[in-house]
C-alpha cells in the first residue's frame, strides 16, 4: 500500500537528479488502447535545504510521527506544531510555516495572538481546499462511471454521453475545483464518505485521484449515488473503493478460467457441428456463464436453496448446459431434424425451452435447485412470471425474507430499455404481496438491438436507467475483463442477500455474429463488425494473462480445453442414439405426486363439488360477521353484512356470497386461495369486501376469510398496482409453483385484459401445448352491455373463444359417462359465462377438484351482482350437486315440448332480459330459453339433448354483443355440428360494429329492444334459408 509521507513528502530534500525526474513525471502517461488510465503518484519539491533547519537525518521520522498524531487529533501536539502543520498544509513554504515558540516566561497571550495572526488565513484556505477535495471525491462517486472503460471494442461510450467536466481526465481540470498542479502533493484528510484510504485517514491529492480512478474509472462503472439510503451507499463505496477490493485467490482465478473455457468451447462446438443452425449463441459475452455461476455460488453460500431464472434466447443453450447442467446429449439431439416428438402438444424451439434441476453446488457443497423458465420470443415477457413463481416458492416454504428462494433475470440491452413490462415488473419489487425480496438483473449488453443502433433505441444514457426508479444500484462492467465481472457479481449477490433489494449487472459486451448465426450484421453496422472481426476472444486474453502471472501453465490450459472438448464429443456421440424427443424432459415446474409417473391425470373423474348445509351456514356466518373484537366498520358495510346474514337464514346466496362459499370451503380443505388485481379487496363494484377497515384505527384491517378454521389454509387477497401485463404474468407464475392453490386474477373491468394480451396469447393459451406445462390460473373478467359506453363493456370473449382448440366441425367421440371430464383434459383452456351464483361456486371448486389443471376464463357479471333474480338456493350447492355446463329450460315449456316453436340459446346476463321480455309477451309456452354456461370446451352432448327436446323449434342464438363480437362466430358452427346441420341457427343480437358498445344510453336501449323483438318475433326468420 502506498505510504503517506505528508509533511515529509513536501519537505525532505531531494537530489538534483531526483528533482528532475519528478518534473518529468508530473503529467499523466498516455497508454495504448485498452490499457488502464491513471495518474502517477509522484511528488514535486521546491523547498531548499536551508529552509528546513530541523529536518535533517533521523529528525524526519520524529516529524512524521508528530504529523500522524496531529492528523488524528490536532490537540495532541504542542500548539507550535499545530500551527506549523496547518500552515504547511495550507501551502505556506516550510520556512514560514515554522514559527519558534516564545521564550520561557513570556506572555501566553502573545503566543495566541501570533498564532491567530499567522494561522487564520491559512485555515480558511485549508477548509476551502478540503471542501474542494470532498467535492472531487463525490464527483467520482456520482459520475466516474461516465469515463470508465466499459466498451470492449473501444469504439463507443457505453453511456452515449459526453465526458463530465468535473472528472479529472487531465490536470488542467483541477481548476474546476480551485486547485492546480501545485496542490497534487498536498495531503488532505479524507471524509467519512469514502474508503479509498483503507486504514489511512489522509492522502495526497495525487493519490486520492489515482485511487478514485482505480475504483470508478477502469473496467467497472458504478451507479449508486441516487440511492437515498446512506447505509446502502456506504456499503457500496466500501465494496469498490477499499484498497485491494478486487483481489482473487489462485484457486478463484483457475475456477474462473475453467468456466470461461466451458462457456467459450461450448459455443465453438455448436458452431463446428451445426454451422447453419440458429442457436442465438453467446459469442462476445462469454463472461455471462461465470457471472451467473458466481452469483449462484455466492447466494448459495448465504443460504439460498432455490434460484429461478428467466432469460431471452441469446445464450440460453449455454446457460442450460453450463449453469443449469442440462445433459449435453439432450441439448445436442435438439438439433436433429429427424427426431420424432413423443409427448403431447406441439413443442417449441430449443432456445425457448426451460428446465428444472436439483444438484450439489460444487463451490459450497450445498444442494441448490435451479429452474430456468420456458418463455416465448416476446422479450421480457417472462420477467413477471419468474417473479410470481419465486414469490409462490417463498410463500410455500415460509421464506418471508427471501433468504432461501431468489430470482435471477437476464435481459438484452435493447429490450431492457424498450419494453414497458420491465418497468411494470420493477414496480412490483417492493409491494408487500408481490415482493420477492430482491432480484438480481443481468443485462447482456450487446450495444445493439437486432440491427438498431443504441442511439436510435433509447433516450436514456444507459439501457439500465429504468432500474433507478426503485433505487437499484447498477454495476456496469467491461465483459472482456472476467475478473471485474466476477467482482461485480459477488457484490451484486452480497447486496441482494444483505438488503433484499434489486440490483443490476450490466455486462457491456458485443455480439460476434448477427442477430442469429444466419444474419449478416455488416449491412447495418459495418464499422462495429470490422472491429469485432479484429477482436481477440476473451478466453485467450484471460488465459494469456493468467499464464503471464504464473497462475496456470500453458499446458494446463490446453489440457483443460481438450478435456471439455472430449466431454462435448462424447455427448454428441450419445445424442445420435436418441430417436424420440421428450418435451417433458424440459419441464420447468414439475408437480411431484400430482400426476402419474408418465405425466397423466391419476383419474378421469371429478367428484361432486357441493357442500353440506352446515358448511354453507358456517361460511355464511363468517362472511356476515366481524371476527375481531373492538373493530369499528363503516355503517354502510354493516348493512351489507346484515344483508348477508339475512340471505344465510333464507338459504340463498348472491354472487359475492357464492364466491365466499367457494373460497371459504377450499381454505377449510387446505387449499391456498390467492385473489389479486386492481381493487379486488373491496371489489370494483363494492360487492366483495374481503378486507374490513377499522374506521378509528389507521391501517388496522381484518380479513374474515382467515378466520374459517384453526387449521385452514391462508387466504391472500391483495390490491395490485395499476398494471395488467405485469400482475397477470406474476399470478401466472404463482399458479405455476403448485397445483394445490386457487390463484385468481380479476381485471377491474373485462377489457383491461387488453394490456395483458401478451401473457394470455403467449403463456396461458398455448402453455401446455408448447411446454407440457399445466396451469390452473383463473381470470375473472367483468363483462356486460350496461349502457355505460364502449369502454368497460366487453371483455372481448370472441378473442378467447377464437383461441380454443376444439374442432367446430367434429362431434367428440367420447364415452358418455366421462364426456365432460375428457373434454376438459383435451382442451387448452376453459371458458365460462355463469348466470347463477351457484354455478360460479361450483366452477371455482371444480377448478381444484379435477385431477388436472387448465386455465379458467370466467366472464363475470356487473349488474347481476345485485340483481334480485340472480340468486341461488342452498339446494343448488348441497352434496351431489355440480357445475352445470348447460342450464336447460325448466319452466312450463318442458311439460309440452312439442308446442315450443323456438329454442333460444344464450349465455350470461342476457338470459334475465330474455325471460323478462318473454313474460311480458306471454310466450312462456312457445319459447324455450337454455343457457350455455360453459362455452369451451363446447358442451356438444348437452346442447344436442336440448335441441332434440324441441324437434319442431327454430334455433336462435341470442347475445347482447355485436354480431362480429361475442360468441356467435364460435357457437354457430358447433351448434350446427351438434344437430348435424339439420336446422339453421338464426341470430338475434346487435348488428356488426367497430366499437364494443354505443356511448348513448338511448341508442343502447333501442338496440336492446330491437334484438329482443327479433328473438321473440316467431316470424322473424320466415322465408329465410
Give me the DSSP letters along 568-608. Answer: HHHHHHHHTT--EE-GGGG-SS--TTTS-TTS--S-S----
- Range with lowest mean pLDDT among 83-97, 217-231, 356-370, 740-754: 83-97
What pLDDT is recorded for position 26?
A: 36
Report how far residue 142's alpha carbon sits from residue 112's, in angstroms, rounded to the nearest whole number: 42
What pLDDT is recorded for position 541?
A: 95
pLDDT tens for each residue of 941-978? 999 999 999 998 999 999 999 999 999 999 999 999 99
Its pTM stands at 0.87
Look at residue 645 and tell me whether its pLDDT is greater than 70. yes
CA distances from 802 to 739, 796, 830 (A): 27, 10, 12
Report how far residue 148's alpha carbon sits from residue 219's, in angstroms, rounded to the nearest whole number: 6
The DSSP string of 21-63 is HHHHTSSPPP--TTSPP-----------GGG-TT-STTHHHHH
Question: How many beta carbons lie within 10 A of that of residue 148, not counting itself?
Answer: 24
Closest Cα to residue 356, out of 854, 853, 828, 773?
773
- Per DSSP bridges, beta strands 872-873 and 856-860 are unpaired
Query: Among all chains, which residue has been given the C-alpha cell 432455490?
Result: 306
Q: How confident is the model at residue 931 (pLDDT cuts 50, 70, 90)?
A: very high
What pLDDT is recorded for position 104?
A: 54
Closest Cα to residue 472, out of 510, 443, 515?
443
Closest Cα to residue 253, out of 204, 290, 218?
290
Residue pair 997/794 in contact (Cβ under 8 Å)? The answer is yes
The DSSP string of 241-261 is HSTTTT---HHHHHHHHHHHH
Residues 475-488, mean pLDDT to the nearest whole number: 96
Report how far residue 55's alpha carbon sits from residue 14's, in angstroms, rounded to the nearest whole number: 12
Q: How confident is the model at residue 930 (pLDDT cuts 50, 70, 90)?
A: very high
- What is the three-class DSSP state of 109? helix
Contacts of 505 (CB under 8 A, 6+ apart): 291, 440, 441, 442, 443, 475, 477, 488, 489, 492
Report how far residue 759's alpha carbon sits from residue 421's, in angstroms, rounded to the nearest whole number: 11
- State which of 233-237, 921-925, 978-982 shows the largest mean pLDDT: 233-237
Look at residue 30 and tell me whether its pLDDT is greater than 50. no
Q: Given its phi and psi angles, is residue 896 left (phi above 0), alpha (psi -120 to 50 degrees) or beta?
A: beta
C-alpha cell at 674: 390467492
- What is the three-class DSSP state of 860? strand
DSSP 382: T
C-alpha cell at 447: 450495444
DSSP 546: H
Q: Which helix (H) or strand (E) holds 875?
A: none
What pLDDT is recorded for position 88?
A: 73
C-alpha cell at 777: 390460473
Phi, psi values for residue 733, rounded to 5°: -65, -40
Phi, psi values for residue 935, rounded to 5°: -80, -40
Q: What is the CA radius of gyration of the chain?
A: 37
The DSSP string of 873-922 is EGGGGSTT----SEE---SGGGT-GGG--EEEEE-TTHHHHHHHHHHHHT
Report how far residue 809's alpha carbon sits from residue 976's, in angstroms, rounded to the nearest whole number: 8
Question: How many beta carbons lie within 10 A of that of residue 81, not counting itself?
Answer: 18
pLDDT tens for each residue of 490-544? 999 999 999 999 999 999 998 877 666 677 776 887 787 788 788 899 999 999 9
Phi, psi values for residue 53, rounded to 5°: -65, -25
What pLDDT is recorded for position 35?
A: 45
What pLDDT is recorded for position 388?
A: 97
Residue 937, preceding bond cis, omega within 30 degrees?
A: yes
DSSP 786: -
Query: Among all chains, which residue has been given the C-alpha cell 374481503?
Result: 690
What pLDDT is recorded for position 158?
A: 66
Residues 94-114, mean pLDDT to the nearest whole number: 53
Sign of the Cα torsion 239, 243, 246, 249 reads negative
Report how far residue 1008's alpha carbon sits from residue 248's, in angstroms, rounded to the nearest whole number: 76
Percentage of residues in the chain having pLDDT higher than 90? 60
Closest Cα to residue 458, out of 503, 525, 505, 412?
412
Query: Among all chains, which residue has been given the C-alpha cell 418471508?
Result: 400
CA atoms within 13 A on the CB side of 565: 11
Residues 462-467, mean pLDDT to the nearest whole number: 93
DSSP 500: -
Query: Among all chains, which residue has been given the C-alpha cell 381485471?
Result: 747
- What is the three-class DSSP state of 187? strand
DSSP 449: B
Residue pair 282/288 in contact (Cβ under 8 Å)? The answer is yes
What pLDDT is recorded for position 196?
A: 94
- What is the three-class DSSP state of 695? coil
Residue pair 631/701 in contact (Cβ under 8 Å)? The answer is no
Q: Sort 948 into a burial class: Cβ within 10 Å, 0-12 / 13-18 / 19+.
A: exposed
Phi, psi values for residue 963, rounded to 5°: -60, -35
Report how far residue 696's alpha carbon sits from residue 739's, in angstroms, rounded to the nearest whole number: 40
Closest Cα to residue 715, out of 742, 739, 734?
742
Per-residue HEC secondary structure of 736-776 comes to: HHCCCEEEEEECCCHHHHHHHHHHHHHHHCCHHHHHCCCCC
Closest Cα to residue 589, out of 715, 804, 767?
767
Look at residue 12 and tell me whether its pLDDT is greater than 50. no
Look at residue 18 and tell me whether its pLDDT is greater than 50. no
What pLDDT is recorded for position 238?
A: 96
DSSP 147: G
Residue pair 297/252 in contact (Cβ under 8 Å)? The answer is no
Closest Cα to residue 781, out of 792, 795, 791, 793?
795
Interhelix angle 250-273/482-499, rounded to 10 degrees, is 110
What number of residues does the chain have? 1025
* Mean pLDDT rounded to a whole number for the chain: 86
- What is the three-class DSSP state of 374? coil
Q: How far is CA 871 from the centre of its chain?
A: 41
Amino acid at each position: 500500500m502506498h505510504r503517506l509521507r505528508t509533511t515529509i513528502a513536501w519537505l525532505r530534500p531531494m537530489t538534483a537528479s531526483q528533482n528532475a525526474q519528478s518534473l518529468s513525471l508530473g503529467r499523466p502517461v498516455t497508454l495504448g488502447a485498452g490499457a488502464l488510465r491513471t495518474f502517477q503518484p509522484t511528488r514535486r519539491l521546491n523547498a531548499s535545504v536551508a529552509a528546513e533547519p530541523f529536518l535533517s537525518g533521523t529528525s524526519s521520522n520524529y516529524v512524521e510521527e508528530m504529523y500522524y498524531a496531529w492528523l488524528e487529533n490536532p490537540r495532541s501536539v504542542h500548539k507550535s506544531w499545530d500551527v506549523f502543520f496547518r500552515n504547511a498544509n495550507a501551502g505556506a513554504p516550510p520556512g514560514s510555516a515554522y514559527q519558534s515558540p516564545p521564550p520561557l516566561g513570556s506572555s501566553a497571550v502573545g503566543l495566541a495572538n501570533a498564532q491567530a495572526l499567522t494561522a487564520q488565513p491559512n485555515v480558511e484556505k485549508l477548509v476551502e481546499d478540503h471542501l474542494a477535495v470532498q467535492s472531487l471525491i463525490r464527483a467520482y462517486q456520482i459520475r466516474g462511471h461516465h469515463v470508465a472503460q466499459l466498451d470492449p471494442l473501444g469504439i463507443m461510450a457505453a453511456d452515449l454521453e459526453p465526458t463530465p467536466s468535473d472528472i479529472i481526465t487531465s490536470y488542467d481540470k483541477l481548476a474546476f475545483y480551485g486547485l492546480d498542479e501545485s496542490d497534487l502533493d498536498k495531503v488532505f484528510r479524507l471524509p467519512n464518505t469514502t474508503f479509498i484510504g483503507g486504514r489511512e485517514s489522509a492522502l495526497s491529492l495525487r493519490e486520492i485521484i489515482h485511487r478514485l480512478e482505480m475504483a470508478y474509472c477502469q473496467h467497472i462503472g458504478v451507479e449508486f449515488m441516487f440511492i437515498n439510503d446512506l447505509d446502502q451507499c456506504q456499503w457500496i463505496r466500501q465494496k469498490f473503493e477499499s484498497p485491494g477490493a478486487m483481489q482473487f485467490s489462485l484457486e478463484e482465478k483457475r475456477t474462473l478460467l475453467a468456466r470461461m473455457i466451458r462457456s467459450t468451447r461450448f459455443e465453438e462446438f455448436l458452431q463446428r457441428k451445426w454451422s447453419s443452425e440458429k442457436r442465438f449463441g453467446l459469442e462476445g459475452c462469454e463472461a455471462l456463464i461465470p457471472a451467473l455461476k458466481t452469483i449462484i455460488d455466492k447466494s448459495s453460500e448465504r443460504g439460498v436453496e432455490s434460484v429461478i431464472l428467466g432469460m431471452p434466447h441469446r445464450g440460453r443453450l449455454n446457460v442450460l448446459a453450463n449453469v443449469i447442467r442440462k445433459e449435453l446429449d439432450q441439448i445436442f439431439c435438439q438439433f436433429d431434424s429427424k427426431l420424432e416428438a413423443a409427448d403431447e402438444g406441439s413443442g417449441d424451439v430449443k432456445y425457448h425451452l426451460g428446465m428444472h434441476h436439483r444438484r450439489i453446488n460444487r463451490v459450497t457443497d450445498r444442494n441448490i435447485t435451479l429452474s430456468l423458465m420456458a418463455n416465448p420470443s416476446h422479450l421480457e415477457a417472462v420477467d413477471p412470471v419468474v417473479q410470481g413463481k419465486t414469490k409462490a416458492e417463498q410463500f410455500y416454504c415460509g421464506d418471508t425474507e427471501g433468504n432461501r428462494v431468489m430470482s435471477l433475470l437476464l435481459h438484452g440491452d435493447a429490450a431492457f430499455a424498450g419494453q414497458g413490462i420491465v418497468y411494470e415488473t420493477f414496480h412490483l419489487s417492493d409491494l408487500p404481496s408481490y415482493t420477492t425480496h430482491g432480484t438480481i438483473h443481468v443485462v447482456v449488453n450487446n450495444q445493439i438491438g437486432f440491427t438498431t443502433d443504441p442511439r436510435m433505441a433509447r433516450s436514456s444514457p444507459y439501457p439500465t436507467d429504468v432500474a433507478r426508479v426503485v433505487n437499484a444500484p447498477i454495476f456496469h462492467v467491461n465483459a472482456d475483463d472476467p475478473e471485474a465481472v466476477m467482482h461485480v457479481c459477488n457484490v451484486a449477490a452480497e447486496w441482494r442477500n444483505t438488503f433484499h433489494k434489486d440490483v443490476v449487472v450490466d455486462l457491456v459486451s458485443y455480439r460476434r455474429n448477427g442477430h442469429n448465426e444466419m444474419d449478416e450484421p455488416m449491412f447495418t453496422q459495418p464499422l462495429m463488425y470490422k472491429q469485432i472481426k479484429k477482436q481477440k476472444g476473451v478466453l485467450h486474453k484471460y488465459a494469456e494473462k493468467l499464464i503471464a502471472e504464473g497462475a496456470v501453465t500453458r499446458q494446463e490450459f490446453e489440457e483443460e480445453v481438450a478435456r471439455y472438448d472430449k466431454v462435448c464429443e462424447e455427448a454428441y456421440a450419445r445424442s445420435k442414439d436418441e430417436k424420440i424427443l421428450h418435451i417433458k424432459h424440459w419441464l420447468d415446474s414439475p408437480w411431484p405426486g400430482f400426476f402419474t409417473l408418465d405425466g397423466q391425470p391419476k383419474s378421469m373423474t371429478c367428484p361432486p363439488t357441493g357442500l353440506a348445509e352446515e358448511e354453507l351456514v358456517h361460511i355464511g356466518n363468517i362472511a356476515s360477521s366481524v371476527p375481531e373484537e373492538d373493530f369499528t366498520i363503516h355503517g354502510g358495510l354493516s348493512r351489507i353484512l346484515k344483508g348477508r346474514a339475512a340471505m344465510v337464514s333464507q338459504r340463498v346466496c348472491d354472487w359475492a356470497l357464492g364466491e365466499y362459499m367457494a373460497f371459504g370451503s377450499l381454505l377449510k380443505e387446505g387449499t391456498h386461495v390467492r385473489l389479486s388485481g386492481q381493487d379486488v379487496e373491496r371489489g370494483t363494484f363494492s360487492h366483495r369486501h374481503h378486507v374490513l377497515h377499522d374506521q378509528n384505527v389507521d391501517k388496522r384491517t381484518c380479513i374474515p376469510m382467515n378466520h374459517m378454521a384453526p387449521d385452514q389454509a391462508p387466504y391472500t387477497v391483495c390490491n395490485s398496482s395499476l398494471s395488467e401485463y405485469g400482475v397477470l404474468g406474476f399470478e401466472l407464475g404463482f399458479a405455476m409453483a403448485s397445483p394445490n392453490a386457487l390463484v385468481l386474477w380479476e381485471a377491474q373491468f373485462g377489457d383491461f385484459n387488453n394490456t395483458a394480451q401478451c401473457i394470455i396469447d403467449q403463456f396461458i393459451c398455448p402453455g401446455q401445448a408448447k411446454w407440457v406445462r399445466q396451469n390452473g390460473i383463473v381470470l375473472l373478467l367483468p363483462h356486460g352491455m350496461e349502457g355505460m359506453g364502449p369502454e368497460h363493456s366487453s371483455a372481448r370473449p370472441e378473442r378467447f373463444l377464437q383461441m380454443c382448440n376444439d374442432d367446430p366441425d367434429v362431434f367428440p367421440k367420447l364415452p358418455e359417462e366421462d364426456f365432460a371430464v375428457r373434454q376438459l383434459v383435451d382442451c387448452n383452456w376453459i371458458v365460462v359465462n355463469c348466470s347463477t351464483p351457484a354455478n360460479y361456486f361450483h366452477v371455482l371448486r371444480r377448478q381444484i377438484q379435477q385431477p388436472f389443471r387448465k386455465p379458467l376464463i370466467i366472464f363475470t357479471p356487473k349488474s347481476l351482482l345485485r340483481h334480485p333474480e340472480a340468486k341461488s338456493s342452498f339446494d343448488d350447492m348441497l352434496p351431489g350437486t355440480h357445475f352445470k355446463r348447460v342450464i336447460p329450460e325448466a319452466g312450463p315449456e318442458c311439460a309440452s315440448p312439442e308446442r315450443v316453436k323456438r329454442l333460444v340459446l344464450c349465455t350470461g346476463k342476457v338470459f334475465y332480459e330474455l325471460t323478462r321480455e318473454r313474460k311480458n309477451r306471454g310466450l312462456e309456452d312457445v319459447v324455450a330459453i337454455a343457457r350455455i354456461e360453459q362455452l369451451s370446451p363446447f358442451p356438444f352432448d348437452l346442447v344436442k339433448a336440448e335441441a332434440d327436446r324441441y324437434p319442431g323449434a327454430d334455433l336462435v342464438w341470442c347475445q347482447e354483443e355485436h354480431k362480429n363480437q361475442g360468441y356467435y362466430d364460435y357457437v354457430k358452427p358447433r351448434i350446427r355440428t351438434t344437430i348435424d346441420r339439420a336446422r339453421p341457427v338464426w341470430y338475434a343480437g346487435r348488428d356488426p360494429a367497430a366499437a364494443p358498445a354505443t356511448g348513448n344510453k338511448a341508442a343502447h336501449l333501442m338496440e336492446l329492444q330491437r334484438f329482443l323483438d327479433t328473438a321473440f318475433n316467431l316470424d322473424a326468420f320466415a322465408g329465410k334459408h
